[in-house]
Amino acid sequence: MEIAINKKDVIWGYLAQFFSIASGIIVLPLILRMLSAEEIGMNYLMLTIGSLVALFDFGFSPQFGRNITYVFSGAQELKKEGIINACSETGINYRLLSTMIATAKFVYRRLALFSLVIMLTLGSLYIYRITNGFTNINNSFFIWLVYSLSVFFNIYYTYYSSLLIGKGMIMESRKALVYSRVIYIILVFLFLFLEFGLLGIAIANLIAPFINRMISHFYFFTKELKKEINRFDISKEEKINLFQIIWHNAQKMGLVVISTYAIRKSSLFFAGLFLPLKDIASYGLMLQLGELILIVSSTLFTIYAPKFASLRVLNNTDKLFKELAFTMNIYYILFILGFICLVIFVPWLLFLVKSNTVLPAVNIFVLYLLIVFLEGNHSNFASYILSGNSVPFVKQSLLAGGAIIIGSFFSLKYTTLGILGLVLVQGICQLAYANWKWPYVVCKEFHNNFLSFIGIGFRETFFKVNHQIEVLAHNDNR
C-alpha cells in the first residue's frame, strides 16, 4: 500500500509548522518586551540544553517512523540495512506492528528518564554557573526544574509522532501538534501578562506535551487497530530482536544527530561561556530566525518523507524521483522568499516592538542565512538517502561536527571576531564537503545532474499547480 499525501496533509502540515514556529515567534515580541536581556539569554540557553539532551533520542524517532511505514506498506519483515520489497498480495503484519509499538514504548521510557537525570545534574551545574549561583534571575532554579520536567515528557511521548507519521496519518499528527501549540501560545500570553516571567514560559512548555499525547493517542489507536494488535502477546525476545534491528541504523543516526547539533547549536553553548548574555540573546535570536526559515522551507519535504519510504518499498523509482525534485523545488522557492522577508522586515519589526535584543550586523545575518540555505539543501538530500534505510554519512558528519566545535572554541577564545567568527566556522566546515556531496550522491543514483534535477522540479511544480487550478475551475463550473 502506497502512503498517499493529499491536500489536507499539506495544509495541516503547514499549519503545524506555522504554530510550531508561532509558539516561538508570535510570543517573541512579548518575550522581548517583558523579559530582561538576562532572562532572554537564559531562555535561549535552556532551549539549547534541552535540544542537547533531546539528542539522547539517538536516531530512534526517524528509525521507528520509517520502519512503521515499511510495515504499513506491506513489508512482512524488517532488515538492519536496506529494504525488502512488499508483495502485492500481502497485507499488514499486525504482529510485527504490535512488536514495533511495544518496543517504541520501552525505548522512550528509558530515554526520557536518562535525559531527566542529565538535566538535573550536569544541566543544573551549567545553569548555576551562567546565573551566578541562581542569583541574577529570580526563581532561576525553580524555572530550570520545571523546564527539565517538560523536556522529560516531550521525549517520553515522542514515539506517538513516529506512529502517526509512519502510518501515513500526516494530517492527524499535525493536528495534534497544532492543538498543543495553540494551548502553549495561550498559556504563554496568560502567564506573561500575569507577570510570571520566564517561569510562565517553562510551565506552558510542561503542559503542551500532555495535549499532544492525548490527541495523538485518540487518532492512532482506533478500535479496529486496538482489536488487531491486542491479539498478540509480545515476548521479551521479540522486543529484543526488533530493537537490535532498529538499533543498527539508530546508533548511526544518533551520531549524525549529535553532529548536527554540534553544527547548528554547539556555538551557542560556547557563546554562553565567553560572551555576555546580551550578545548571547542577539546570537540566539539570529539562530532562531534561521531555524524558522529552514523549517518553513522544508515543511513539504518533511511531509513527503513517509511517501519516499513507501515508494522505495514499492520500487516505484520514476515517481520517487519526480516527487523528490518537486519537494526540493518548493524548498528553494520558499527559502529565497523567506530570506528576502527576514532581511528587509525583521530589523524594522524589532524596532517597532521596542525589543531589548537586536540582531547582529546585517552582513553577519545575511551570511548566516546563506549558510543555513546550503545546509538545509544538503540535509534534505541526506534525509532522502535515509528513506532507503541506509546511513552512509556518519563519519563525515562527525568530522564536520568536531571541526565546528573546535573551531568555535578557538574563535571565541583566541580572536575578537565574536559572533562573526562562529558563523564563519560553521560555513567553512560545511562548504568543504557536505554542501556538495549529498546532492551529488542522490543525483548520481538517478543518473542525472543537479541542473536537470532542478529543471524536473520546476516542471513537476508547474504540472501540480496547473492540475490544481483545473480541478478548482472544474468544481466552480459544477
Nearest to 369 by CA among 345, 343, 344, 330: 343
Cell of 132: 551566578
Average pLDDT over residues 133-153: 86
- Report the pLDDT value the prediction gives residue 363, as an integer from 0 to 100: 92
271 by DSSP, 3-state: which? helix
- Rounded-to-integer distance, Cα 467 and Cα 365, Å: 38
Q: Are 151 and 119 in contact (CB under 8 A)?
A: yes
- Report the pLDDT value the prediction gives residue 1, as an integer from 0 to 100: 53
**Confidence band of 82 (pLDDT split at 50, 70, 90):** low
- Report the pLDDT value the prediction gives residue 427, as an integer from 0 to 100: 92
**Confidence band of 86 (pLDDT split at 50, 70, 90):** low
What region, left, alpha or beta, does residue 44 occupy, with left being phi > 0 and alpha being psi -120 to 50 degrees? alpha
Q: Is the predicted pLDDT of residue 317 greater than 80, yes or no? A: yes
Task: Using alpha carbons only, give the angle 361, 433, 442 rounded to the nearest 5 degrees.
Answer: 115
Best-predicted range by mean pLDDT (79-93, 109-123, 279-293, 329-343): 329-343
Which are the contacts of 422, defined by CB distance < 8 A and separation ≥ 6? 267, 270, 271, 283, 408, 411, 412
Q: Is the predicted pLDDT of residue 336 greater than 90, yes or no? A: yes
- Report the pLDDT value the prediction gives residue 55, as an integer from 0 to 100: 67
Average pLDDT over residues 88-117: 84
Average pLDDT over residues 242-270: 76
Average pLDDT over residues 254-263: 72
Q: Is the predicted pLDDT of residue 379 greater than 60, yes or no? A: yes
Q: Residue 6, exposed/middle/buried by CB under 10 A (0-12, 13-18, 19+)?
A: exposed
**Confidence band of 90 (pLDDT split at 50, 70, 90):** low
Q: What does the mean pLDDT of the chain come to?
A: 83
Q: Is the predicted pLDDT of residue 348 greater than 80, yes or no? A: yes
Q: Is the predicted pLDDT of residue 88 greater than 80, yes or no? A: no
- Report the pLDDT value the prediction gives residue 48, as an integer from 0 to 100: 73
Average pLDDT over residues 29-39: 75
**Confidence band of 337 (pLDDT split at 50, 70, 90):** very high
- Report the pLDDT value the prediction gives residue 347, as an integer from 0 to 100: 86
